[in-house]
Amino acid sequence: MLKTQFAVRQVFFQKRTLFASAVQFKSTAIPSIPYLHAHPTQNKYAISYVSSDDLKKPDLEPELIIGWSTDKENLTPKTFVENNKFVNFLTNVLAENIHKVDDMNLKAMADWQKEGWLHINDERNPPPWGRIGFPEDIVGSVEIKDGVIQKGTYQPMPAHRLMTRDGIFKLSEPLTNLVVNEAKKKASQ
């Protein structure tokens, strides 16, 4: 059984890049997960923050695909494979903008901590106030000085996973809006 699962997953990984720009039909919103859309491809779905209506070109840019799933409504670690190009896009968006985002919770944590490095936690499995989350649930870290996030200090957490047994990654509302807007901006170019 394990050998079969490994072989299927290996084929899934090898072929995923073939589907990055092969969107065939109109996307559908994923009702259980706000902001996400499933774009049908050959026998999988490309999961993205942008809908087919947001696209200027008929193809979905590879860095706008969060990952691929065999089931558009039941995203789990068994059905979902993350896209490293999206991880790079997410990292760049956060690195360039996190210091100017109006995120009240992030600002409160920075003000409370005052100095050092502050972890940006994935909200799918938030740690208790003032505690450090699991490495797979830490999106990245920023340097704090005098309770303020410092520009240019964002560092991604290599152990962060877009999908875990707790579900697909979930940023705070202000950070989600930032990434969605940047993705839509890139899609409309």
Do 42 and 12 fall into the same domain?
yes
pTM for the whole structure = 0.86
Condensed to tens digits (0 to 9), the pLDDT of residues 109-167 reads: 999 999 999 999 999 998 887 789 999 999 999 999 999 999 999 999 999 999 999 99
State the pLDDT confidence band at 16, using cuts at 50, 70 and 90: very low
In a domain, 181, yes or no: no
Handedness of CA 3, 164, 140, 72 (dihedral sign): positive
In a domain, 107, yes or no: yes
Do 104 and 77 fall into the same domain?
no
> Quick one: tokens of 137?
């649930």
Number of domains in the chain: 2
Do 160 and 115 fall into the same domain?
yes
Do 80 and 51 fall into the same domain?
yes
**What distance in Å separates the CA atoms of residue 23 and residue 7, rounded to the nearest whole number?**
25
Q: In angstroms, how far is the first alpha carbon of the chain from the final one?
A: 45
